[in-house]
Amino acid sequence: MSFLGTKEIETERLILRPFKLGDEVAMFKNYCNDERVCEFLTWRPHKNIEVTKEYLQVCCLEKYNLGLTYKWAIVLKETNEVIGAIDVINYKIEKHQASLGYVLGYNFWGKGFMPEAGKAVINHLFNEGFVRVDAWHHIKNEKSGKVMQKMGMTYEGTLKKFDMDKDGKLQDMKLYAIVKN
């Protein structure tokens, strides 16, 4: 296996690339400050751009230096703007398994951007040697279930009290996965 981490990936309408300083402006404007985006996530909307900048520094840029990291900014080619993010939130090298998480700005929903990004990331991970990629969503977050299906994943079951919501309460999650043929 050869692990490349956050390598730049190009799709028809998107560039997936590592985050960089300055991205906080588009991140804050497009998704970090939006309650609609955070409804089923583990974090609350950022109150101001300083929070986003801190998040970018600590949770993105510093992670790239700590070892193998998969954390892409999703950039719309048409405007060259960061509109979302897609990450490997967890991986097990010895089992060749990875789990995805993703977020997209509200104004960009419903255009198939996340399935497009997700398929490219799964392809990248399979090329690196991963054999299973999974993802889960809050039981009420049907939109995300649709994305998982469009990425080629299959529903595997509901995991009881598996992950926290933003109030720190454990919630049931629907698990999807795709395996390399």
**Considering only residues 3, 40, 64, 162, which one is a binding residue for ligand COA as defined by CB under 6 A?**
40
Q: What is the largest CA-CA distance in the chain?
A: 45
- Closest Cα to residue 118, out of 181, 74, 76? 74
Secondary element (H or E) of residue 122? helix 113-128
- Residue 4 or 170: the one with the smaller Cβ distance to ligand COA is 170
Binding part of the chain for ligand COA, among 65-73, 97-105, 152-160, 163-171 by CB under 6 A, reads: 97-105
- The answer to whether residue 11 forms part of the interface with ligand COA (CB under 6 A) is no
Pick from 112, 127, 155, 164: which binds ligand COA (CB under 6 A)?
112
Looking only at the bridges linking them, the beta strands covering 71-76 and 81-92 are antiparallel
Torsion of CA 102, 104, 106, 111, to 10 degrees: -110
**Beta strand ranges found along the chain (DSSP E):** 9-10, 14-18, 71-76, 81-92, 97-104, 132-138, 154-164, 170-179
Applying CB under 6 A, does 132 fall inside the site for ligand COA?
no
The phi and psi torsions of 145 (rounded to 5 degrees) equal -60, -40
Which residues inside 148-167 make contact with ligand COA, applying CB under 6 A? Answer: 150
Q: Return the ∠ at Cα 116 (arms to 111 and 119), rounded to 5°.
A: 150
Q: Which residues in 45-64 contact ligand COA (CB under 6 A)? A: none
Residue from the set 14, 32, 114, 177 that interacts with ligand COA by CB under 6 A: 114
For ligand COA, the nearest residue by Cβ is 110
- Interaction between residue 113 and ligand COA (CB under 6 A): yes
Contact status: 147 vs ligand COA (CB under 6 A): yes
Q: Which residues bind ligand COA (CB under 6 A)?
A: 37, 40-41, 102-104, 109-115, 137, 141, 143-144, 146-147, 150
